[in-house]
Structure 1
Amino acid sequence: MPKKVNHEEQKHILGKAAWRVIKKEGIEGASVRKVAEEAGLSAGSLRHYFSNQNELLAYSMNLVSERVKTRIQNAAFTDDHFENMILVLGELLPLDEERRLEMEVWIAFNIKALVDPHLSELSSRVYEEMKTGIRNIIEGLVKLGLSGTEMKIEEEAGRLHALIDGLALHAVMKPDQFNEEKMKAILRNHLLSLLEK
C-alpha cells in the first residue's frame, strides 16, 4: 500500500529545505533540483507541490511570516502587558538559531523582491502587517496608560519599526556583536524610554 503523504506537511518540509539551500548558496542557488535534493526528493516529486521555482520561493517566503505569526499566537502571555509587548517584538528578532535562519532567508527574499514582482507583492503585504502590529503595540502603551496621550503614535511606531529592522540586520551581519542579550536590552530600553515618567 502506498505511503500517505500530508500535502501541507510536505510543502512545509520543502519550504524549510529551500531555507537551508538559501542559507548555503543564496537565493539564486535555490533551484528546484537543489531544494529537492536537500529534502531528499527527486525534482519530479517536488513538482507535485510547486510547479516552478517562483511558487517554491513565494511559499518559502510566506512560511517565514506564518511561523512568526504562529509563535506570537502561541506565546506564553502573562498579565504584564509591557512584558507581553517585549515578547511579541522579540519574535521579530533573530534571538535564536531558528529565528536567525528565518531572518537570513527573509533578508535574501526581500533583496530578490526588489526585482521580482511576485515576491515584491508578498514582501509589501508582510511589511504592512508588521507595520500595523508595531503600531498596535505603540497604541497599546497609550491605551493601557503606560505612555502619555500626547505620544505621536505614527512617529514612535516608525522609530520602533526602524529599530527592529536595524537590530535584525545587524544581528545577521554581526552576530558576535548583536547577541540575544544585547538585542533584548536595546529593545527593552527603547520601550522603557516611551513609558510615562
Structure 2
Amino acid sequence: MPRLVDHAERRLAIIGAAWRLIAARGIDSTNMRDLAREAGYTNGALSHYFSGKNEILRASFEHVFDATSARIERSVGARRGLPALRRLCREVMPETEETLLEARIAVSLWQRALNDPYMASVNAQALDTWRAQMVEYLRQARDDGEIGDVDEVLYANLLMTTMVGLQVTGVLDPQSSAASQEAMINLILDGAKAAFPPGRHTKVNR
C-alpha cells in the first residue's frame, strides 16, 4: 500500500524549495510559479499547504530558528558551562554550508520582519530563547570555576549581538571564515575567564 505523505512533510519540502530560491534569487524574484516548480508541484497544489507567498515566507523564516534550535539541542546534549555555550554559538554562526544557508535566509527576511509583526515575534522569541540559554550556561561556567564573576546577562547580550553580526558578515563578506568567527567568540569568552579575583584560577575546559 502506498505510503501516505504527511501534510507537515510536504510543507517542509515546500519550505526547502523556498530556501533554495531565496538564497539563489532573493525574495522579490521568488514567485509562486517558480516555488511550485522547484518543489515539484503544480501552482494550484501549493494552496493546499500555504495560502500564498507571504505565508511561505513566514514559515521559511520560522523554520530557520526551529532548525537551529533543534541542532543546538542535539549538539549541546548533556554538556554545561563553557563547552555547552561554545556548542550553541557554533550552531548559530554561519560556519558550515547548512548554517550559512540558514543565515542567508534569515538575513534576507529580516527586512521583511521589520514590517511583519508575526515574523518580528518569531525572531524575538528565538533570540530570547538562545539568550536565556547563554545566561544559564554562563552561570554554570561561573559556578564550575570556568569564568570569573561576570555579568552573565551582559555577556550573553554581547555574544548574541556578535553572532547576529557574524551572520550578516558571513553572508556578505567574502573574507569571513569559520576560523575568524571562532576567534571572535574566543575573544569574548577569554574576557570572561580573565575576570577572576586574585588567586582564583579557571578550570580546564571539558
Q: Does 1:140 align with 2:140?
A: yes
| % same residue | 26
Tell me the CA shift for residue 78 of structure 1: 6.9
Quick one: distance in 1 between partners of 2:156 and 2:42?
46
Q: Which residue is equivalent to 1:42?
A: 42
Normalised by the length of structure 2, the TM-score is: 0.85
Please tell me whether the aligned partners of residues 62 and 119 of structure 2 are also in contact (alpha carbons under 8 angstroms). no
Structure 1 residues 149-188: aligned runs within 5 Å: 149=149, 151-174=150-173, 176-188=174-186
Q: Which residue is equivalent to 2:204?
A: none
Please tell me whether the aligned partners of residues 80 and 137 of structure 2 are also in contact (alpha carbons under 8 angstroms). no
Q: Which residue is equivalent to 1:7?
A: 7
Query: How many residue pairs get matched?
Result: 195
Structure 1 unaligned spans of 5+ = none
Tell me the CA shift for residue 133 of structure 1: 2.5
Q: For the structure 1 residues 137 and 111, does the alpha-carbon distance in structure 2 shift closer, same or farther, using more than 3 Å as the test?
A: farther
Normalised by the length of structure 1, the TM-score is: 0.88
Structure 2 unaligned spans of 5+ = 202-206
Moved over 6 A (4+): none
Quick one: distance in 1 between partners of 2:192 and 2:132?
18
Q: Which residue is equivalent to 2:82?
A: 82
Secondary structure of the structure 2 residue equivalent to 1:29: coil
Tell me the CA shift for residue 84 of structure 1: 2.8
Tell me the CA shift for residue 3 of structure 1: 6.0
Quick one: distance in 2 between partners of 1:2 and 1:83?
45
Counterpart residue type for residue 187 of structure 1: I
Q: For the structure 1 residues 107 and 180, does the alpha-carbon distance in structure 2 shift closer, same or farther, using more than 3 Å as the test?
A: same
Larger-Rg structure: 2
